[in-house]
Amino acid sequence: MSKQRLVVVGNGMAGARAVEEVLARGGAEMFDIVMFGDEPYGNYNRILLSEILNGTQDTDGITMNPLSWYAENGITLHAGHRVEKIDRAAKVVIANTGVRERYDKLMIATGSRAFIPPMQGVRIEDGSLKPGVFGYRTVADCQQIVDYARSSKVAVTIGGGLLGLEAARSMTVLGCESHVVHLAGHLMEMQLDVAAGGLLKKTIEGMNIQVHTAKQTTEVLGSDKVEGLRFKDGTELLCDLVIVAAGIRPNSEIGQFSGLTVERAIVVNDHMQSVDDRDIYVVGECAQHRGRLYGLVAPLYEQAKVFAEHVTQTNVNAAYHGSKLATKLKVMGVELASMGITDPTDDNDEVVQFTEPKRGTYKKLIVRDGRLVGGILMGDISKAPFLMQAFAQNAPLPDERLSLMFDLGTPSAKVTYDEMPAETQVCNCNGVTKAGIAACVIAGANSSKAVMTQTRAGMGCGACKGEVTELVSWLLGGEVEEDPSVHYYVPTIPLRKPELMREVVARGLKSVSSVFRELGNGEVDAGAKPALASLLITVWKGEYDDERDARFINDRVHANIQKDGTFSVIPEMPGGVCTPDELVRIGQVAQKYNVPLVKLTGGQRVDLVGLKKDDLPKIWSDLGFKAGYAWGKSYRTCKSCIGTDFCRFGLGDSMGFAQRIERRYRGIDSPAKLKLATAGCPRNCSEAYVKDVGFVAIGDGKWEIYVGGAAGAHIRKGDLLTTAKDETEAMLIGSRFMQFYRENAKWKERTYTFMERVGLERVRAVVVEDSEGICADLDAAMEASIAACVDPWLEAVAPKTANQFTSVIPAKEEV
């Protein structure tokens, strides 16, 4: 018997998933499969679009089914062809490009598109969006936004749902001032109540995003491109980029054009078939089932499964009964779980609530007749698996409501997983159950990474990764294999930085080679040597066993290697200040060594560029300056303005402070370079707002301390850590921050990434409020590091290794 033809219109998460489900049921033997996709790629994970926007992933990184997948599975893919019409009588689909395919069974998964609410001026004459206005739905949208953002200053995202908030966050990463405008009175009103929405707003505002709720946009200003928005209340907001993330509309026109019943979307029965044509199935956002539309991935994966079972006839009774909406997600680093209703709707509904605003924790449960009908968990979602299960199964709840929110007397994880029913869904994005994970482990997967790759569990929003890992480990009876993970400090040693530091101390490992020997896998990773050297010097300070081969060349010769193998020399110049004699001496050295380039740096110093390695020691001796440390992962320099000495506006002695900072921290190693600045007033002439640590005088001796600023490849205004009452306090808190960063940041992780990862609240709690009681330790550690620093340019007269500064050694003799 010849194969039937299965044609799938739509190559998004629903279409591709549906085909995977068909293949998993032996569909390749039954069908020749043909897919049409509007976009010119394989299927990608739309949930991760914000990562394209903020540059942490490229298209490859979020691709779930690369083009090779289609070929390997014998699927014909027409990527970049949009099917416009179905000739149901002839059983043929016709694409806008003229491509025609005959079908026996057809599946429509055209998904949805961004909804652009009616606003005056949102479109230009030809009907397209005004330049600067973007939908937020596809990789192409993201690429256009990224391009446009290069020349934009203020970006506004219309829509404060999950997608909108993620987009707004990405805009800060792209260097724009970011605003969110939301129609409802609070953010994410579908998932959150007023209190949780308010709490989320505060958290988000702490990330330098301005949130405007209860605002209806009525007009997009600007004649030929966006210049601002006008709102119903008459106010305006100037901006040059607008992202519209105000919801989605199903792409159901294909149903209309082909004579299928379409209400809000294409109407289907419980087998996911069109009610008009049993050879046509509809899955995903373009399907309307029992009057409801679903936009989350979990329901559409359930639908895909029903479709697959039915079309392959592995289960002719397969039926979809609708989904109870419960979701776990991560919005801007805040973990959230939401299920059912967000507010009580019945007088007898029982509300159990807990709030801890300072930590951003919020928990609310709505109980009706002893069963969970709604819930919100924010900040701490450790109880989410239990609650979501109780919600989905309509299970009776324990009488002690407190135990719904907190682990009292902590039942061990083992008991929990033991008791967890097999059909409990662990990964909601990809619809993976405990049974699915168990089957994968039984089939031989022996690490959480293998399970995640094979089942897709944890590969959606990622919120359940921890749970999947724990479950796999429990299933394996603790025999889970460790995966090389992004969390390791260096790839070949399976420890995160704090664990590695503890291990290094416990074992007394003071050299890089000893760390590899005792903790590694027998292999010495060249690229990891400087990372370990940095960690060890932070831990051991003066006691560090300094193996020179572990250093990057810059740190071996105390200069910065250039593209042609020459080096640059930057003498220390605290606060950008030197005497006329010193300036003359630099000039004389530049002449004497015929320096190809003399350049003033961004850090207010003089750079002598293009020097031979062999000349370095003589140059240092002739200069008579201390090293400027312009080559390494370390404290670099502290810029300053003139401050109070001559400036008419100065409020604080920024120049003196910068000099005191430089003399204190010079030579301090750190995970990535530390560039500092002091500004004598908020006019910010020395750019202190965009430094790793910046101090800004505001009068009365006070200094504002900004951390995590950047004005390089990334542009980010620093977070205001605190305001110090005087210079001594400012120095102390700045010092603590730097030490906390040194101990906790990943290798090469700049402060701007570190701050986003750890969060301002936590950093402030630790270094200002001493919430963990470690401030005294941080202070002492920094003092010890400072005491252990030695000016490396002293090696001019006492080299540490053979031929340290020799660029070429002549052979002794030829035979």
Least separation, in Å, of the C-beta of 612 and another protein?
11
801 lines the binding site for another protein (CB under 8 A)? yes
Residue 176's contacts (CB-CB under 8 Å, 6 or more residues apart) are 149, 152, 153, 154, 155, 241
Q: Which of residues 563-602 bind another protein (CB under 8 A)?
A: 563-565
Binding-site string for another protein from residue 611 to residue 650, where x marks contact by CB under 8 A and - marks none: ----------------------------------------
Q: Which is nearer to another protein, 210 or 513 (CB)?
A: 513
- Region binding another protein by CB under 8 A among candidate stretches 365-373, 522-530, 577-585, 645-653: 522-530
Binding-site string for another protein from residue 471 to residue 510, where x marks contact by CB under 8 A and - marks none: ----------------------------------------
The helix (H) or strand (E) run that includes residue 107 is strand 105-108
525 lines the binding site for another protein (CB under 8 A)? yes
Least separation, in Å, of the C-beta of 515 and another protein?
13
Angle at alpha carbon of residue 781, lines to 779 and 782, rounded to 5°:
65
Q: Which is nearer to another protein, 594 or 806 (CB)?
A: 806
Among 15, 530, 603, 656, binds another protein (CB under 8 A): 530
798 lines the binding site for another protein (CB under 8 A)? no
236 lines the binding site for another protein (CB under 8 A)? no
Measure the CA–CA gap between 734 and 593, rounded to whole angstroms.
Answer: 39
- Region binding another protein by CB under 8 A among candidate stretches 49-57, 166-174, 179-187, 520-528: 520-528
Q: Which is nearer to another protein, 115 or 552 (CB)?
A: 552
Least separation, in Å, of the C-beta of 357 and another protein?
46
Measure the CA–CA gap between 226 and 234, rounded to whole angstroms.
Answer: 18
Least separation, in Å, of the C-beta of 804 and another protein?
8
Q: Which is nearer to another protein, 561 or 788 (CB)?
A: 561
Residue 269's contacts (CB-CB under 8 Å, 6 or more residues apart) are 275
Angle at alpha carbon of residue 191, lines to 186 and 196, rounded to 5°:
50
Least separation, in Å, of the C-beta of 803 and another protein?
5
Angle at alpha carbon of residue 235, lines to 232 and 239, rounded to 5°:
105
- Region binding another protein by CB under 8 A among candidate stretches 273-281, 528-536, 676-684, 726-734: 528-536
808 lines the binding site for another protein (CB under 8 A)? yes
Measure the CA–CA gap between 156 and 235, rounded to whole angstroms.
Answer: 14
User: Where would I find the H helices in 174-296?
Assistant: 194-205, 253-257
Least separation, in Å, of the C-beta of 512 and another protein?
9
Q: What separation in angstroms does the CA of 610 have from each of 234, 459, 637? A: 60, 48, 21
- Region binding another protein by CB under 8 A among candidate stretches 186-194, 297-305, 541-549, 773-781: 541-549
The helix (H) or strand (E) run that includes residue 65 is strand 63-65
Q: Which is nearer to another protein, 453 or 514 (CB)?
A: 514
810 lines the binding site for another protein (CB under 8 A)? yes
- Region binding another protein by CB under 8 A among candidate stretches 163-171, 335-343, 545-553, 738-746: 545-553
- Determine the size of the site formed for another protein (CB under 8 A): 33
Measure the CA–CA gap between 115 and 137, rounded to whole angstroms.
Answer: 10
The helix (H) or strand (E) run that includes residue 250 is strand 248-250
- Region binding another protein by CB under 8 A among candidate stretches 52-60, 167-175, 444-452, 547-555: 547-555
Q: State whether the Cα torsion 625-630-632-638 is positive or negative.
A: positive
Length of the chain: 815
Among 150, 358, 648, 812, binds another protein (CB under 8 A): 812
Query: How many other CB atoms are found less than 10 A from the CB of residue 293?
Result: 19
Q: Which is nearer to another protein, 316 or 808 (CB)?
A: 808
548 lines the binding site for another protein (CB under 8 A)? yes
User: DSSP states of 368-379 as a string?
Assistant: ETTEEEEEEEES
Q: Which is nearer to another protein, 104 or 525 (CB)?
A: 525
- Amino acid residing at 417: Y
Q: Which is nearer to another protein, 516 or 754 (CB)?
A: 516
Asked if 200 contacts 378 with a C-beta cutoff of 8 angstroms, the reply is: yes
Q: Which is nearer to another protein, 526 or 713 (CB)?
A: 526
528 lines the binding site for another protein (CB under 8 A)? yes
Least separation, in Å, of the C-beta of 527 and another protein?
6
- Region binding another protein by CB under 8 A among candidate stretches 47-55, 268-276, 405-413, 549-557: 549-557
Q: Which is nearer to another protein, 60 or 726 (CB)?
A: 60
The helix (H) or strand (E) run that includes residue 757 is helix 751-758
Q: Which is nearer to another protein, 713 or 811 (CB)?
A: 811
713 lines the binding site for another protein (CB under 8 A)? no
Among 67, 341, 524, 647, binds another protein (CB under 8 A): 524
- Region binding another protein by CB under 8 A among candidate stretches 419-427, 468-476, 517-525, 709-717: 517-525
527 lines the binding site for another protein (CB under 8 A)? yes
701 torsion bin: left (phi>0), alpha (psi -120 to 50), beta (else) = left
Asked if 552 contacts 616 with a C-beta cutoff of 8 angstroms, the reply is: no
747 lines the binding site for another protein (CB under 8 A)? no
- Amino acid residing at 554: N
Among 513, 644, 684, 723, binds another protein (CB under 8 A): 513
Least separation, in Å, of the C-beta of 699 and another protein?
47
In this structure, what token pair is assigned to residue 452?
């995640």
275 lines the binding site for another protein (CB under 8 A)? no
Q: Which is nearer to another protein, 125 or 523 (CB)?
A: 523
Residue 116's contacts (CB-CB under 8 Å, 6 or more residues apart) are 122, 129, 135, 244, 246
Among 526, 787, 797, 798, binds another protein (CB under 8 A): 526
Asked if 373 contacts 340 with a C-beta cutoff of 8 angstroms, the reply is: yes
Q: Is 745 helix (H, G, I), strand (E, B) or coil?
A: coil
Query: Closest Cα partner for 195 from 354, 373, 366?
Result: 354
Residue 571's contacts (CB-CB under 8 Å, 6 or more residues apart) are 586, 605, 606, 623, 625, 626, 627, 628
Query: Closest Cα partner for 327 from 420, 462, 429, 421?
Result: 429
User: DSSP states of 504-555 as a string?
Assistant: HHHHT--SHHHHHHHHS-S---GGGHHHHHHHHHHHHGGG----GGGS-HHH
Query: Closest Cα partner for 354 from 396, 403, 392, 413?
Result: 403
- Region binding another protein by CB under 8 A among candidate stretches 519-527, 655-663, 676-684, 716-724: 519-527
Measure the CA–CA gap between 788 and 454, rounded to whole angstroms.
Answer: 50
Binding-site string for another protein from residue 551 to residue 570, where x marks contact by CB under 8 A and - marks none: -xx--x----x-xxx-----
Least separation, in Å, of the C-beta of 549 and another protein?
3
Measure the CA–CA gap between 414 and 369, rounded to whole angstroms.
Answer: 30
In this structure, what token pair is assigned to residue 20?
């995977």
Asked if 261 contacts 276 with a C-beta cutoff of 8 angstroms, the reply is: yes
Q: Which is nearer to another protein, 224 or 564 (CB)?
A: 564
- Region binding another protein by CB under 8 A among candidate stretches 15-23, 632-640, 768-776, 798-806: 798-806
Query: How many other CB atoms are found less than 10 A from the CB of residue 396?
Result: 11
Among 224, 347, 479, 814, binds another protein (CB under 8 A): 814
Among 33, 245, 550, 677, binds another protein (CB under 8 A): 550
Rounded to the nearest angstrom, the gap between the alpha carbon of residue 433 and the centroid of all alpha carbons in its chain is 26
In this structure, what token pair is assigned to residue 63?
């691709």
150 lines the binding site for another protein (CB under 8 A)? no
Binding site for another protein (CB under 8 A): 513, 523-530, 547-550, 552-553, 556, 561, 563-565, 801-803, 806-815
